[in-house]
Structure 1
Amino acid sequence: MKRDFLNVSDLTKDEILEIIEYAIKLKKEPFSDQTLKNKSIGLIFMKPSTRTRLSFEVGVYQMGGQPIYITGSSTQMSRGEDIKDTGRVMARYLDGIVIRTYSHKEVEDLAQYFDKPVINALTDYLHPCQILADLQTIYERFGKVEDIKVAFVGDGNNLANTWLIAGGLIGFNVSVATPEGYEPSGKAVYEALNLAKETGAEIQLTHDPVEAVKDADVIYTDVWVSMGQEEEKEKKEAFKGFTIDKQLLKHASKNAIVMHCLPAHKGEEISEEVFEQFADVIFDEAENRLHAQKALMSLLFK
């Protein structure tokens, strides 16, 4: 039976822990897993990308497969072809699809009509591949991904949504601080709270960054204005006081780390000083996209 990865909760807690451990192994032995040998994987990108595209292209190649990069404008989808029809056609050629797009429903529809694995490489609702790499990075730093507190400070976007669900699923505490009117999706909060009933995770929403980062082990942020929303300059006014800087860090755990999925707008969501202080963590996090996604693909395509 085919498996998709559209949401971090498409995996079990044990599977996520296995992916982290296997990703660390693949980091040392990049060509050791040839699960994708003689397979062709379509990489559909409706949005610009640096880390996601490179990590998936290199990852598919290292696993023996053929990555095929497909821009939205280069397909008939740009002329209105139904994604259901596109999925059924691609199923005749490809062994899997990685898709980065806007609407999460579009990915769900594609997965319904494409009869092989579909991986969500980012939608406006979720960014699950990024979180796998983030969890690997946290594990490398702390030796665990449980019994920790993650504080997300900024816009209640796809990453905030995914962190909430991941915390509820795995059992670590998540506190999300956003300005009023920029809270995470109610759907994501609902799923996180339901998952947390089983794992005991504490899920907190606040409008106070200081409250969110109190005793946090990981402080996470993302750009205030997401891709495709660059014209919303006035939005930045609402985020004054939500910058990750040295003053805010004083309220976190003594050994806390700061993470950022990149690209960063230094001086907005994170100060230049803090970014450089934790640059080794942030760029390890970027590298781990490659390894975590390879471990994910090994699971899905076996």
Structure 2
Amino acid sequence: ICIGALALGPVNLKGRSFLTLKDFNSDEIKHLLWVAGDLKHRIKHEKQYLPLLQGKSIAMIFEKRSTRTRMSTETGFSLLGGHPCFLTSQDIHLGVNESSTDTARVLSGLSDIVLARVYSHTTLEELVKDASIPIINGLSDLYHPIQILADFLTLQEHYGSLSGLTVSWIGDGNNVLHSFMMTAAKLGVHLRVATPKGYDPDSSIIQEAQRLSKQHGTQFLLTSDPVEAARGSNVLVTDTWVSMGQEEEKKQRIKDFLGYQITMQTGSVAKPDWTFLHCLPRKQEEVDDQVFYSPRSLVFPEAENRKWTIMVN
């Protein structure tokens, strides 16, 4: 999708899969955010009907359930005139009754694009290898790129510009953090990360984030101290401490994350204009009600922006 003209120059994303923002450069990411914002303005505020995907269909594979990913994809694709097809693990036995290779080839003949929300990132790589249509990562154990586009669109709307902002992640070294690490520096955003010892981000992703930070002239901090991470920040971010598939680790994880709950006390060392993000669903041990339901919280605009950013993938 390309609407209007960008000062960034020509960007061609047609036919590309979207597994990780590691594969996209600064101009391409800025282009995605610009188009998402443009679509939001035209459809939501100007009430335009833009049947850009008329006659197209998307196969939505969900190994893991999700309110926001399903609703944003179905409503967003429909708003552009396309037809979403939802496939649960009961409808499609990916890699069990049918190999990923065969599934990729079958869906390539039946749909125009696939969004897959899976456990293993390897599953997405297998689909890309054998599909002749684009594959979108709806979430994997390694990355959650569609969430990060929504996060940065939300911050762009709130602050007016992303360049120079400081984002502080306080929580688990998980897939959402990995996507922040692959994106922040490319947008001129400083990233400060606090994770408990033993819950660090992937080491290869740390190395890439350090390289990107150096390349783009941004700051990248890793620490185990939430206060150190929050100091001087514009945005405090956290996520669930217990992801799907980690339920047996819950008691130990809550113990290990003691002191990581985001409160107004955490924000007292941040900048006066600090805001809060959480990709949901949220548990109270991660952030208290005073922050979560405060005017500083952008979590509900962030959730809505999943719809507008998924349209550009």
**Shorter-chain TM-score: what band?**
over 0.9
Q: Does 1:288 align with 2:288?
A: no
Q: Quick one: structure 1 residues 138 and 51, their matched pair in 2 at CA, closer, same or farther if it must change by over 3 Å?
A: same
Distance 2:131 2:296 in 1: 39
Give the superposition deviation at 1:207. Answer: 0.2
- The one-letter amino acid paired with 2:85 is I
Give the structure 2 partner of residue 16 of structure 1: 29
Cα distance in structure 1, aligned partners of 2:149 and 2:72: 13
When the two chains are superposed, the root-mean-square deviation of aligned CA atoms in Å is 1.5
- Residues 153 and 209 in structure 1, CA contact (< 8 A), matched pair in contact too: yes
Matches within 5 A, 1:260-299: 260-266=278-284, 268-278=285-295, 281-294=298-311, 296-297=312-313
Aligned to 1:205, the other structure's residue is in SS state strand
Query: Shift of residue 9 of structure 1?
Result: 2.5
Give the equivalent residue in structure 2 for 1:300: none
Distance 2:101 2:56 in 1: 22
The answer for the alignment partner of 1:112 in structure 2 is 129
Question: What secondary structure, in the 3-state scheme, does the structure 1 residue paired with 2:87 have?
Answer: strand
**Residues 276, 297 of structure 2: 8 Å contact kept:** no
TM-score (norm 2): 0.90
**What letter matches 2:27 in structure 1?**
D
1:254 aligns with 2:272: yes
Deviations 1:71-97 (A, max 9, x none): 122124273422122101111111000
Q: Is it true that 1:152 corresponds to 2:169 in the alignment?
A: yes
> For the Cα contact (< 8 Å) 1:168–1:194, is it kept in 2?
no
Percent of paired sites with the same residue = 39
Match of 1:234 among 238, 241, 252: 252
1:24-43 Cα offsets, whole Å, 9 max, x none, are 22223225433211111100
The answer (yes or no) to whether the contact 2:120–2:141 under 8 Å persists in 1 is yes
The aligned counterpart of 1:138 is: 155
8 Å Cα contact 1:6-1:107 kept in structure 2 = yes
Does structure 1 retain, via aligned residues, the 8 Å contact 2:275–2:296?
Answer: no
What is aligned with 1:244? 262
Question: Which runs of no fewer than 5 residues in structure 1 stay unpaired?
Answer: 298-302
- 1:254 Cα offset (Å): 0.7
Local SS of the residue matching 1:73: coil
Q: So what's the TM-score if we normalise by structure 1?
A: 0.94
What's the CA shift for 1:229?
1.1
Deviation track 1:131-161 (CA, whole Å, cap 9, x = no partner) reads 0000000001111111111100011111111
Is residue 177–residue 212 contact of structure 1 (8 Å, CA) maintained in 2?
yes
Structure 1 residue 241, shift from structure 2 partner: 0.4
* Aligned equivalent of 1:218: 235
User: Are 1:72 and 1:78, in contact at CA under 8 Å, matched by a contact in 2?
Assistant: no
Which is worse superposed, 143-152 or 11-20? 11-20
| 1:196 CA displacement | 2.1
CA displacement 1:213-238 (0-9 Å, x = unmatched): 11011110001111221221221100
Is 1:163 the counterpart of 2:180? The answer is: yes
Q: How far did residue 165 of structure 1 move?
A: 1.1
The answer to whether the 8 Å contact 2:181/2:205 transfers is yes
Aligned partner of 2:191 in structure 1 is 174
Find the aligned partners of 1:238 and 1:278 in 2 and give their Cα distance.
29
User: Aligned equivalents of 2:140 and 2:291: distance in 1?
Assistant: 28
Match of 1:42, SS state, is strand
- Structure with the higher fraction of residues in helix conformation: 1
Deviation, 1:280, is 5.5
Closer/same/farther in 2, CA of residues 223 and 245 from structure 1, 3 Å limit: same
* Aligned-partner Cα distance in 2 for 1:153–1:24: 28
Q: C-alpha offsets along residues 107-145 of structure 1, whole Å, 9 cap, x if unaligned?
A: 011011111111101001110000000000000111111
How far apart in 2 are the matches of 1:39 and 1:198?
39
Q: Which amino acid counterpart does residue 24 of structure 1 have in structure 2? A: G
Change beyond 3 A, Cα 1:246–1:168: same
